[in-house]
Structure 1
Amino acid sequence: STIAHKTENRGEYLAARQQKAKIFPASTVFKQIPPWVMAFEVVETSQVFMRTVAKIEPEWIISAAGDLLKYHYFEPHWSKKTGRVKAYAQISLFGLIIISKQLTNYEQVNLVES
């Protein structure tokens, strides 16, 4: 629950459960501004700061989170190229969207509908 994704505002990150946080200024990744980070601790003073921060990749979250991930499938459609029903999946963790639009095979989700 201490992962965060960079927002449009400079230096601001959106963490799980829609909490906005910033990287602590003394952190080594403070000036790098990576797109995804994981913090060891989150401290709330005048602002919410993430301390002991490391840069991560979204694929690592998917492989490590497992059953905590929520999948939402939308826009099922027929693919002429593959001859199967495809749909898009939105993957989230505690309300934080990890992948917004991933193409998946819809028959693995709902065989009867596909």
Structure 2
Amino acid sequence: MGKQMTEMLKGTLEGIVLAILAGQPAYGYEITARLREQGFTDIAEGTIYALLVRIEQRGLVDVEKVPSEKGPPRKVYSLNARGRGELDEFWKTWSFLAERIEHLHGDNDTGTGTN
């Protein structure tokens, strides 16, 4: 992943993880696997675990410890009402930015941009 992609992802990864949890509860490794299925192949598990700690501390998710066949119980994260509000705000912000970026991109493609 290039430096520009890494930097852009830093600002959006929380929203992306919240969107995954909006679909169904998951534990850290499952979230990482789903991200990789979506093409985010270079995201380290450690990055996801650190993000999960932050969103748990901010009260955006509920956590349930579920027994695991392989070792200690897993922490399963589910989006709560506060997290849904944060996700809604993320999508509004994303739409706003994507619309303006597309407009800028369109201006540059047609040669009408004034940079």
**Shared fold per TM-score greater than 0.5:** no
Q: Which one has a larger percent helix, Structure 1 or Structure 2?
A: 2
Q: Which one has a larger percent strand, Structure 1 or Structure 2?
A: 1
For Structure 1 versus Structure 2, the TM-score category normalised by the shorter chain is under 0.3
